[in-house]
């Protein structure tokens, strides 16, 4: 029997119109659809393509706790074992990835466990990085400038060092780290030009000067755009 293929499908930042034609075709053809979800809430990835899911498809939800800590090895291993059994039985599996599958996505953990033994096809998606700059209508890097992508979960000094080493930065995973980030930006004299983008491409998208944002209102799906020279435009 031929074994199934694992598809890592990039879904884009949230607007269903940013799902590619290729992802949509492969999603509709897959008998099994797997996706990450938070511990108790719904799956953002599933919500993006909910209108195209068909009741005949088997759905596998992989729940990841939203807490910091070491890599979630046990969750990845359990999910990979379940998907491997389906692939070995000949079923194709579509793994839904918000944004791009390999840009800070959980698909990287699944790929590490299944990539050596199974056929894998990865379809890139519009990542939050490009969705946020488009939403803000701000060019982030030009010519020979350097861009850094920084997780807001890093310690303050590390964020500062990485900001100092790049011409521009995208800072992701804001949520409860926002107040700390705001302090670092103020210390480096970057606060006044920093831009805040929340839920880019969705109807409730919010774009504002970062300095005006109440830390208590910041969700996980929010990103900061920073340039050491001022933004053009």
Residues of this chain that interact with ligand SAM (CB under 6 A) are 13-14, 98-100, 103-105, 127-128, 131-132, 172-174, 197-201, 220-223
At 37 the three-state DSSP class reads strand
Distance CA 5, CA 149 (A): 31
The answer to whether 114 touches 101, Cβ cutoff 8 Å, is no
Based on CB atoms, which residue is closest to ligand SAM, 3 or 151? 151
The minimum distance between CB 71 and ligand SAM, in angstroms, equals: 13
Q: With respect to ligand SAM, which residue has the nearer C-beta, 86 or 174?
A: 174
CA distance 79 to 97: 15
CB of 219 to ligand SAM, least distance (A): 8
Instruction: Please answer whether residues 195 and 225 qualify as being in contact, where contact means their C-beta atoms are separated by less than 8 angstroms.
Output: yes
Which residue in 10, 1, 4 sits closest to 29, CA to CA?
4
The residue of the chain with the least Cβ separation from ligand SAM equals 99
Q: Judging by beta carbons within 10 Å of its beta carbon (0-12, 13-18, 19+), is residue 31 exposed, middle or buried?
A: middle
Q: Which is nearer to ligand SAM, 86 or 223 (CB)?
A: 223
Residue closer to ligand SAM by CB (options 86, 172) is 172
**At its nearest, how many Å lie between ligand SAM and the CB of residue 76?**
14
Smallest distance from ligand SAM to CB 55, Å: 27
């Amino acid at each position: 029997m031929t074994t199934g293929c694992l598809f890592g499908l990039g879904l884009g930042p949230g607007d269903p119109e940013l799902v590619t034609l290729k992802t949509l075709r492969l999603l509709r053809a897959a008998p099994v659809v797997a996706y990450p979800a938070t511990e108790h809430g719904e799956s953002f990835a599933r919500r993006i393509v909910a209108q195209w899911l068909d009741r005949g498809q088997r759905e596998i939800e992989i729940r990841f706790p939203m807490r910091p800590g070491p890599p979630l090895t046990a969750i990845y291993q359990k999910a990979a074992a379940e998907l491997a059994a389906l692939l070995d039985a000949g079923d194709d599996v579509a793994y839904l990835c918000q944004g791009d599958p390999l840009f800070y996505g959980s698909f990287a953990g699944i790929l590490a466990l299944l990539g050596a033994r199974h056929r894998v096809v990865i379809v890139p998606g519009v990542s939050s990085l490009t969705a946020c700059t488009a939403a803000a209508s701000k060019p982030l890097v030009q010519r020979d400038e350097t861009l850094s992508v920084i997780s807001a979960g890093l310690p303050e000094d590390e964020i500062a060092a990485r900001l100092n080493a790049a011409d521009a930065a995208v800072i992701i995973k804001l949520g409860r780290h926002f107040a700390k980030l705001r302090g670092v930006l103020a210390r480096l004299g970057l606060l006044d030009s920093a831009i805040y983008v929340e839920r880019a491409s969705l109807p409730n998208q919010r774009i504002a000067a970062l300095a005006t944002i109440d830390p208590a209102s910041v969700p996980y799906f929010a990103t900061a755009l920073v340039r050491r020279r001022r933004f053009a435009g």
